[in-house]
Amino acid sequence: MAYEPSKSKNKGKGRGLDGPQEPDMLPIMNLMVVLIPVLLSAAEMVKIRTLTVNLPVAGGGGGAGANDQNPEVEIQNLEMSISVTKKGFFIANKSSFIGEFVNLAEPAIADQIQVLKDAFSSDEPTELNTNPDEQAAPKKYIQANYNDGFRKEDFEKINKALKAFREILEIKKLEFPDMDKIIVAAENDIDYQTIVSTIDAVREFKKGKDEYIDLFPEVELGSY
């Protein structure tokens, strides 16, 4: 018994072959539905931060030009600065290094002086001073070992030292026009991340989980 030929689009071109059919996209769609959340969960989102810094003024000398124009008006500036070197951090103001405060013996700022002693302490052995009348040599910098960057503890020393120094200024009721400004300078071989971490350390002090205290929020970049 002969059967009737297929009535498909291929009629006459074969023995009842079916015509072209669209591919089943459902398995691929299911795969995409699973892959998209997996890829999003595995992706690392980049956090963008901005640091507000001021570039040095060309030809300026830290505001000294205003005093030269009018010698009768003398404005006392603090002129805080921190220099980043491979052997540590030099923190100074216009007249002295803040490490020199460790030799003071004032009860009102005893706690702050102790914080400075801890920050400026050196791990290297020092010669014992046998003369009680001779004052110990002033400590000029926070010692740190640079090995493609400094440790987190080194930046914490900066942070605590500057907080103690601000408290000393407040206790002594000393005010300056540039109270919130600090100049950050670094040697040529210091990497960029170290400079950024130094800026973070001098700008604010983290008091609590979400509470911050301003130290020197106005940061200027200087040359070493």
**Would you state the pLDDT for residue 48?**
64
Q: How far apart are CA 5 and CA 166, in angstroms?
A: 99
**Would you state the pLDDT for residue 37?**
85
Tens-digit pLDDT profile for residues 193-223: 999 999 999 999 988 778 888 999 999 988 8
Q: How far apart are CA 116 and CA 130, in angstroms?
A: 23
DSSP 97: B
Tens-digit pLDDT profile for residues 105-145: 888 999 999 999 889 886 544 443 444 444 445 567 898 88
Tens-digit pLDDT profile for residues 44-92: 666 666 666 666 555 544 444 444 444 444 458 888 999 999 989 999 8
Three-class SS of residue 113? helix
Torsional sign, CA 96, 142, 85, 207: negative
Name the residue ranges covered by the structural domains of the chain. 76-123+137-221
CA 158 to chain centre: 11
CA 116 to chain centre: 21
Closest listed residue to residue 115, CA positions, set 87, 145, 82, 142: 142
**Would you state the pLDDT for residue 28?**
85
Q: How confident is the model at residue 185 (pLDDT cuts 50, 70, 90)?
A: very high
DSSP 180: T
Asked whether the whole model's pTM tops 0.75, one would answer no
**According to DSSP H, which parts of 152-191 are helical?**
152-171
CA 46 to chain centre: 17
Closest listed residue to residue 81, CA positions, set 64, 98, 65: 98
The residue-averaged pLDDT of 24-29 equals 85
**According to DSSP H, which parts of the chain are helical?**
26-42, 64-69, 110-120, 152-171, 192-203
- Cα distance between the two ends of the chain: 104
**Would you state the pLDDT for residue 125?**
41
